[in-house]
Amino acid sequence: MSPDTTPTDAEAACFEAGIKFGTLYHQFAGTPISPDSAASLATAMEESIENQPHCTEVTVDVRLEALESELADSTADYTELTGRFLEVEIVVDYEGCAVLTRMEMEDGYPLMRLESVRDG
Amino acid sequence: MSPDTTPTDAEAACFEAGIKFGTLYHQFAGTPISPDSAASLATAMEESIENQPHCTEVTVDVRLEALESELADSTADYTELTGRFLEVEIVVDYEGCAVLTRMEMEDGYPLMRLESVRDG
Amino acid sequence: MSPDTTPTDAEAACFEAGIKFGTLYHQFAGTPISPDSAASLATAMEESIENQPHCTEVTVDVRLEALESELADSTADYTELTGRFLEVEIVVDYEGCAVLTRMEMEDGYPLMRLESVRDG
Amino acid sequence: MSPDTTPTDAEAACFEAGIKFGTLYHQFAGTPISPDSAASLATAMEESIENQPHCTEVTVDVRLEALESELADSTADYTELTGRFLEVEIVVDYEGCAVLTRMEMEDGYPLMRLESVRDG
């Protein structure tokens, strides 16, 4: 590995932030969810991901309106967790670099996005 | 399918109970967990599985002593959820048949067990 | 536990079959899938679940037509695995009781069903 | 967001690489695995993650020796997939930035590491 390809702290911070997002999404996608159980699932997602290294804050909002709208068209009273029911913000701090990342719906898809990278 | 192989209500109730156990375990195994986040994860596990059809009660106890003992031997302050940190009881009611199931450690393995089947 | 609530072998076999179904679904739901990667995922699902105790055969068919139809309406070239892309058959043998279970779409939902129970 | 916090392409590439790693690990951790089923699971992991955007190559090696050694001490003939059975390499290319990442055991822990970032 030549010296000029050595990752910077900011790049490592972005890598760490991505790990948290992939973890959050793929650990919990598919979980049975209803309007009544949404709050406890959101709290568990936040607290479990905040355990991971360098993760300073996770905020999970369940989009209750989208959830209720899907259930209104359904004979079931619960569904499976997927990206269109979520808005997530994750903050990572790695060696003084603060990275803010967000997942939101965009054109019908849940998009994970790097918002800002602030060097220490 | 010959008539004598048609499942009874009690057998269907046991099948439903097994689905809940497989779901609970494999949805949440691997989740980052620490003593501080254990309670919120247990609550989310209970409430999400109780959404499933015919599931009347789910009780999840995190074995904090086993969790703390693993972390005492570790340089990390969290680990991944696995069966040795869990005691779970699930009650299913299907067409009046009540099935009680439990997961506990036995000889070092988490064993899922059908405890009782009470016909309606 | 009174004697009349002790599970029969057939009931235990049905419980075991349910565990396999819940495991298969919630371990793999959410996996990125495309027509090109469908076959390897189906094989891995079959072989991993066949490791579980008393599980004699697992057959996973990915409903390629449903997958391709969803992708035709999408700007992405992959999606997440969910029940509407799957047809699954699982055979469990427990103490000589053979249980056949199946998951298929019914009225727009993936339904897990106990097909037959044949006592040994 | 002030201009100086706008992520670079290299930082976005590292974020994308992290997402792939978190996905791979938390989608598949907990899967029943044995020496016989290890190869099909590794292939499915590679092909499913390669579906994700900007992911050019995924290489999954199951550490068969570690797996067999764990099973030798066990009464079971399978176990659950976890990091100590895996060596993974993921290459991401985002807007011409190539990022190489690796997961290996280090001091008894599976460590995900950013190896190199090569700007386009």
User: Per residue in C76-105, pLDDT tens?
Assistant: 999 999 999 999 999 999 999 999 999 998
What sign results for the dihedral spanned by CA atoms A75, A79, A84, A86? positive
Closest-CA residue of chain A to D49: A22
Contact A51 B40 (CB under 8 A): no
ipTM: 0.94
User: Each residue of B11-22: b (16+ CB within 10 Å) or e?
Assistant: bbbbbbbbbbbb
CB atoms within 10 A of CB A69: 11
CB-based contacts of B43: which residues, under 8 Å, 6+ apart? Answer: A40, A43, A44, B60
**Is residue D50 part of an annotated ligand binding site?**
no
Contact criterion met (CB below 8 Å) for C41 and B42:
no
The pLDDT score that the predictor gives to residue B63 is 97
Contact criterion met (CB below 8 Å) for B13 and A3:
no
Contact C22 B24 (CB under 8 A): yes
User: What's the CA gap between A60 and A79, in Å, rounded?
Assistant: 18
Indicate whether B3 pLDDT > 70.
no
The pLDDT score that the predictor gives to residue B1 is 42
Q: Which residue has the tokens 């988490």?
A: B110
Q: Which residue has the tokens 């706008």?
A: D6
User: What's the CA gap between D69 and C43, in Å, rounded?
Assistant: 25
User: Each residue of A19-55: b (16+ CB within 10 Å) or e?
Assistant: bbbbbbbbbbbbbbbbeebbebbbbbbbbbbbbbebb
Both tokens assigned to D37: 């089923």
Query: How far is residue C41 from each of residues B98, C27, D45, D53, measured CA to CA in Å?
Result: 36, 12, 8, 18
Q: What is the pLDDT along chain D (120 residues), one digit of tens a residue?
A: 444 689 999 999 999 999 999 999 999 999 999 999 999 999 999 999 999 999 999 999 999 999 999 999 898 999 999 999 999 999 999 999 999 999 998 877 889 999 999 987
CB atoms within 10 A of CB C57: 13
CB-based contacts of C69: which residues, under 8 Å, 6+ apart? Answer: none
Indicate whether A79 pLDDT > 80.
yes
Contact criterion met (CB below 8 Å) for C38 and C24:
no
DSSP state of A81: -
The pLDDT score that the predictor gives to residue B59 is 98
Mutation target for C interface from B2, B6, B15: give the one with most C CBs within 10 A.
B15
User: What's the CA gap between D44 and D40, in Å, rounded?
Assistant: 6
CB-based contacts of D99: which residues, under 8 Å, 6+ apart? Answer: A15, D10, D13, D14, D16, D17, D91, D92, D93, D114, D116, D117, D118
Query: How far is residue C65 from each of residues A80, C44, C68, D70, D97, measured CA to CA in Å?
Result: 22, 21, 5, 41, 36
Give mean pLDDT, residues A10-16.
97
The pLDDT score that the predictor gives to residue C107 is 79
Q: Which residue has the tokens 């340089």?
A: B75
How confident is the model over A31-70, as pLDDT tens digits? 999 999 999 999 999 999 999 999 999 999 999 999 999 9
Contact A37 B51 (CB under 8 A): yes
What residues in chain B have their Cβ under 8 A from chain D's Cβ atoms? 25-26, 29-30, 75-76, 80, 82, 107, 109
What residues in chain D have their Cβ under 8 A from chain B's Cβ atoms? 25-26, 29-30, 75-76, 80, 82, 107, 109
Domains, chain B, with CATH or none: 8-119 (3.30.1300.20)
User: What's the CA gap between A65 and A115, in Å, rounded?
Assistant: 25
How confident is the model over B8-20, as pLDDT tens digits? 999 999 999 999 9
Count, in order, helices (H) and strands (E) of chain A.
Answer: 3, 6
Chains that touch A (3 or more CB pairs under 8 A): B, C, D
Provide the CB-side half-sphere exposure for B1 (13 A, CA).
Answer: 13
